[in-house]
Structure 1
Amino acid sequence: MGSTVGELLVSLPAAANQEQRREWAVACAQALGLGGMSISLGQELVWFSDGISERLQDLQFILGQGPSQRFQGETEVRQLPDLGRLLARQWPQFTAEAEELGIAALFIWPVHIGAVQAGTMTGYRRVAGPLSAQQSAQGQLVADALAEHVLNHWPSSTDTSNGPGHVGTVDLHRAEVHQATGVLSEKLGVPLAEALDRLRARAYASGQPLAATAHTVIQQELPQ
Structure 2
Amino acid sequence: MDDDHAAAWRRIGAADSGVSLAAAARACAADLAVDSLGLSLVAAGELRIMGYATDEHARLLEDAQLTAGEGPCTDAYVQRTLVEEADLHQAFERWPAFTHAAAGQRMRSVTALPLATGHLCIGALDLYRAAPGLLTARHKSRAKAYARILALLAFDEHPHLLTAEHRTTQPGPQGFPPSVHLAAGVLAETEQLPPDDALARMRAHAFRHGRSLHQTADHILAHHTLD
Query: What's the TM-score once normalised by structure 2's chain length?
Result: 0.74
Q: RMSD of the TM alignment (CA)?
A: 2.7
1:19-34 to structure 2, matched below 5 A, reads 21=22, 25-34=25-34
Q: Report the alpha carbon displacement of residue 188 of structure 1 after superposing the two structures with TM.
A: 1.6
TM-superposition CA deviations, 1:115-145 (whole Å, max 9, x none): 2333211110000111122221221122111
1:146 maps to: 150
Is contact 1:109–1:120 with CA below 8 Å preserved after alignment?
yes
Distance 1:179 1:113, change over 3 A: farther
1:113 aligns with 117
Q: Report 1:103-182 matches (<5 A).
A: 103-154=107-158, 174-182=177-185
Distance 2:199 2:217 in 1: 10
Residue matched to 1:206? 209
In structure 2, stretches of 5+ residues that fail to align are 1-6, 161-174
Provide the aligned length of Structure 1 versus Structure 2: 196
Structure 1 residue runs of 4+, over 4 Å off? 11-16
- Which has more helix, going by share of residues? 2
- The residue identity in structure 2 corresponding to 1:78 is V
Distance in 2 separating the partners of 1:219 and 1:25: 34
1:37 paired residue number: 37
**Matches of 2:117 and 2:24, distance apart in 1:** 21
Give the drift of 1:178: 1.8
Identify which range, 90-99 or 6-15, moves more after superposition: 6-15
In the TM superposition, residue 47 of structure 1 has moved relative to its aligned partner by 2.0
Question: 1:169 matched to which residue of 2?
Answer: none
Identity of aligned residues (%): 27
Q: CA-to-partner distance for each residue in 1:176-218, whole Å, 9 max, x for gaps?
A: 1222122212222211111111221232233232223222322
- Native 8 Å contact 1:9 1:142 kept in 2: no
Q: Which amino acid aligns with 1:32?
A: L
**1:65 match: secondary structure:** coil
Instruction: Say yes or no: does 1:50 pair with 2:37.
Output: no
Tell me the alpha carbon deviations over residues 50-95 of structure 1, each in whole angstroms, 9 at most, x when there is no partner: 22112212222212222232433444x322111122x122222322
**Which blocks of at least 5 consecutive residues in structure 1 are unaligned?**
157-171
Residue 15 (structure 1) shift: 6.5
CA contact (8 A) 1:48 1:54 kept: yes
Counterpart of 1:62 in structure 2: which amino acid? T
Write the distance in 2 (CA, Å) between the matches of 1:13 and 1:186. 46
- 2:84 is matched with 79
